[in-house]
Structure 1
Amino acid sequence: MKKIIVLFSALSLFSCKQEDVQLAKADVSVMTDIQDHSPVYMFFRENEKDTVVEVNKNNTIGTTNWIFNIDKRLPLHALIPDLAKLQDKKKNGMHKKEGTINVFSYADSLHQNLAFLPFDDVRFFYDKDFSKFYIKDHAELYMSYDNFTINFKKNGKVTVDGHAIDKNELVSYIKDFSEFMSDGKPIILHLNFDKHLTFNDYIQNKLMLWKITSDKIQFSSYEFIYDETKLPECGCEL
């Protein structure tokens, strides 16, 4: 098994070229061990016009699990298109192996270890899509669930079904609904992220909600990375 080195003083992951990827960090470990893996490095780069992603996938093997080591500073608008292409490459590759997965790496600052968040079943919708509209257009698929449209905005604010909520109260809000107000239906959390947020924002928010997932509370496999200027006019709060 290939070794991965984490330096917690800098929270950096190093490639064979000794280039650093600044990892996101959290206080929870979803997974701590993954065997038979290949690394994908996604570096933070800046040019005169914008922030860009530099991808190093030279050591990937299609029959292994892929660990995506992504710099936490990368904005989603730069990251997601390349990330989605790599997902497709792994899924549709000639040498794909059943049962292998894709995971994000991050640093668990509480337990001082490298941890992983699987995202193999995630499909990213980019730019002009938003879960509220998707649910409406596919209402028959979601009638048997309690659906929460959760929107993480670029200003750090959060809305649930269009209603502003303190981010520190988001978890308790969903838990209270599940325990006291739910009509017995399973709950699906539909996640939306403004494309100007960073990967650090993305993984921190997702891990925050992951702590309350259960048989009754699940993430939707569809995640929406939206451009506010390209969303349909609805005359409503998102």
Structure 2
Amino acid sequence: MKKLLLLFSIVLFASCKKEDVQLPQTNASVTTELTDHSAVYMFFRAEENDTLVEVNTKNSISTTNWVFNIDKRLSLDLIIPEIKQLQAKKKQSSHTKEGAINVYSYADSIKKTLAFLPFTDVQYKYDDQFSKFFIKEHSDLYATYNNLTINFNKDNAITVDGNDVPREELVDFIKDFANFMSDGKMTIIHLNFDKRLTYGEYIQNKILAWQLTTDIIQLSSYEFVYDTERIPDCNCKL
């Protein structure tokens, strides 16, 4: 607990005394324990009716676990390209420690603590791709699974394989479907996010998706952050 409180104080100190990073809040903790870490900051900047992201990696050390402290107001189109570059930089570093992970930080509004969402294995497909087209193009890889495409659109509404599903019903809907359709197969959930969503909305949606996982339901390591105008030949409901 002391380690957690110390880390929370450091984040608050960085926010209040140096820079303002407004962390997302959710009502669940994926993990709250993390040692041997260093920080990456992404700050919100508003300049002349435009929003910018300012990235600070001065405190990041490649041999440690990286904690990404990202302002919840930033949109995905601003931060995902930066995250992809930093993922590649750390992976290519000759000093990266085996087993070191990357996590997003956020606040657990119920426990009133800092929490972490690991994303080390996430591979972002950015801008012009969407999972159901990706699955079709790589059908040999996914033929042995039940595949479900979940989309969080620009209004942060949810569709599953193009069908509207209320947010409060998503977990039960997916688990009931997986149990009914499993027939011995693993169900793979493919997540898609409109790039106009904020980082705060993204984290809340990721935590919701994390609650779907069971021994027969897993999340794909590929995540699709898309621009509707750049998806080729897409005239259908996503």
TM class, shorter-length: over 0.9
Trace 1:15-94 onto structure 2 (pairs within 5 A). 15=14, 18-94=18-94
Are 1:37 and 1:67, in contact at CA under 8 Å, matched by a contact in 2? yes
2:91 match: secondary structure = helix
Trace 1:90-169 onto structure 2 (pairs within 5 A). 90-169=90-169
Matches of 1:49 and 1:87, distance apart in 2: 30
Matches of 1:156 and 1:45, distance apart in 2: 23
1:220 match: secondary structure = strand
**More helix as a share of residues:** 2
Instruction: State the match for 1:184 in structure 2.
Output: 184
Are 1:13 and 1:22, in contact at CA under 8 Å, matched by a contact in 2? no
- In angstroms, what is the RMSD of aligned CA positions? 1.8
Pair 1:47–1:207, CA change in 2 (3 A): same
Instruction: State the match for 1:211 in structure 2.
Output: 211
1:225 has 2:218 as partner:
no
Determine what percentage of the aligned residue pairs are the same residue.
57
TM-score by length of 1: 0.93
Runs of 4+ aligned residues of structure 1 deviating over 4 Å after TM superposition are none
2:175 match: secondary structure = helix
> Displacement of 1:6 after TM fit?
5.1
> Displacement of 1:40 after TM fit?
0.6
Cα deviation code 1:118-151 (max 9, x no counterpart): 0000011111011011000000000111111111
> Displacement of 1:172 after TM fit?
1.2
Matches of 2:168 and 2:58, distance apart in 1: 40
Letter in 2 for 1:225: V
Q: Unaligned regions of 5+ residues in structure 2, if any? A: none
1:78 match: secondary structure = helix
Are 2:8 and 2:113, in contact at CA under 8 Å, matched by a contact in 1? no
Moved more, 43-52 or 29-38: 43-52
Matches of 2:49 and 2:87, distance apart in 1: 27
1:4 has 2:7 as partner:
yes
> Displacement of 1:214 after TM fit?
2.0
Are 1:32 and 1:114, in contact at CA under 8 Å, matched by a contact in 2? yes
Pair 1:109–1:183, CA change in 2 (3 A): same
Matches of 2:234 and 2:18, distance apart in 1: 48
Letter in 2 for 1:154: K
How many pairs are equivalent?
234
> Displacement of 1:193 after TM fit?
0.3
TM-score by length of 2: 0.93
Q: Unaligned regions of 5+ residues in structure 1, if any? A: none
Matches of 1:209 and 1:127, distance apart in 2: 21
1:21 match: secondary structure = coil
1:115 match: secondary structure = strand
